[in-house]
Amino acid sequence: MEQKAYTHGLHHITGFAGDAVQNFNFYTKVLGLRLVKKSVNQDSVDVYHLFFADAVGNPGTDLTFFPWPNISKAKDGTGLATEVTFATPVESYDYWMIRLQELNVNNLGSDDRFGEKVITFEDPDGLKLSLTATSEYRDTVAWDKSPVPAEHQLRGFHTVRMKVRKIEPSLVVLKDLMGYKEADRDGDWIRLEAGEGGSGTFVDIIALPDVPEGRWGAGGIHHVAFRMKDRETELKLRQKLMYAGLQPSTLIDRFWFESVYFREPGGVVFELATDGPGFGRDEDMDKLGEELILPPWFEKNREEIEKNLPVLNLN
């Protein structure tokens, strides 16, 4: 039987930050994630690319940032992914509410979504974040140097929330091309799931026809990446996207995974990303994130690249 070229969940989500040290401190010291790769934006090498994830950088746990010190603030609106939701064990809900209160995170609140208890808050740049208490098992690896005890550490993404003006074209792409199916509804929000479904595969989407388009900036999300089993399935899906007129990029080697980018009809930038080779390809797993790592094709320019990057004191 021919292998279907479907995604099977969330791979990573990439946003914009302002100050890199502030960004590092929040995601490692408040949320307890590990910096698993310190590199550069491969399309603009004078900007860092920081990757925060579980202990080994498993696909589906990885929130990444381009920190631009002078970038303007993001504007909420349609045509964007607007919130990142992590999974946390049900029994960790109270721990996280108390921890986030004690650390004075911005705009801390609570909600009930799709029958699940959710903690809502923002990072220092204003990126909307939430933690969903779930009993679903997630195959993640605890980081032994995290300030958060292993039993309470975040279990990767639960879902990502998207706002569009017209929902049907986006649903056609997600369902007919990428293999998503509807899982639930909560008011005007529609929850879709991919692959075997469940936490880590969800996308929540809403139509807001009267809301203006949003704008990229600090505290905003640049793109959402979806998991692909391997290059073969990724290229098959890319072909389907081409036939549908979505103008996907060529296959781009990011060294730790291979990527294809396109903009879905609602305006959100999507990436297809292979599960491998992974972040241990060029670093000892015990030392992930400690040094500036460049893909091999940039090594010949390392001296110039380092000269044009701001000095980062991350500890």
Give the model confidence (pLDDT) of 251-279 as tens digits: 999 999 999 999 999 999 999 999 999 99
Q: How many helices (H) and strands (E) does the chain have?
A: 5, 16
Mean pLDDT on 288-296? 97
Q: Which pLDDT value is given to residue 206?
A: 98
Tens of pLDDT, residue by residue over 174-219, are 999 999 999 999 999 999 999 999 999 999 999 999 999 999 999 9
Q: Report the run of H or E that residue 35 belongs to, with start and end.
A: strand 34-41
Q: Which pLDDT value is given to residue 314?
A: 87
Tens of pLDDT, residue by residue over 83-142, are 999 999 999 999 999 999 999 999 999 999 999 999 999 999 999 999 999 999 999 999
Q: Is residue 2 predicted with pLDDT exceeding 60?
A: no
CATH superfamily of 10-308: 2,3-Dihydroxybiphenyl 1,2-Dioxygenase, domain 1 (3.10.180.10)
User: Quick check: 143 and 54 in contact, CB under 8 A?
Assistant: yes
Mean pLDDT on 155-176? 98
Q: What confidence tier does 1 reach under pLDDT thresholds 50, 70, 90?
A: very low
Q: What confidence tier does 236 reach under pLDDT thresholds 50, 70, 90?
A: very high
Model pTM score: 0.97
Mean pLDDT on 221-250? 98
Give the CA distances from residue 113 to residues 31, 52, 117, in Å, rounded to whole numbers and listed in that order: 21, 25, 7
Mean pLDDT on 283-288? 96
Q: Is residue 155 predicted with pLDDT exceeding 60?
A: yes
Q: What phi, psi does 176 have (nearest 5°)?
A: -75, -30
Q: Which pLDDT value is given to residue 3?
A: 57
Q: Could you tell me which residues are beta bridge partners of residue 121?
A: 129
With tokens 């996207």, the residue in question is: 241
DSSP codes, 188-257: TEEEEE-TT-STTS-EEEEE-TTSPB-B--BTSEEEEEEEESSHHHHHHHHHHHHHTT--PPPPEE-SSS
Q: Which pLDDT value is given to residue 315?
A: 77
**1-15, 208-222, 298-312: the lowest-pLDDT one:** 1-15
Q: What confidence tier does 313 reach under pLDDT thresholds 50, 70, 90?
A: confident
How high does pLDDT run on average in the chain?
97
Mean pLDDT on 279-286? 96
Tens of pLDDT, residue by residue over 24-61, are 999 999 999 999 999 999 999 999 999 999 999 999 99
Tens of pLDDT, residue by residue over 12-28, are 999 999 999 999 999 99
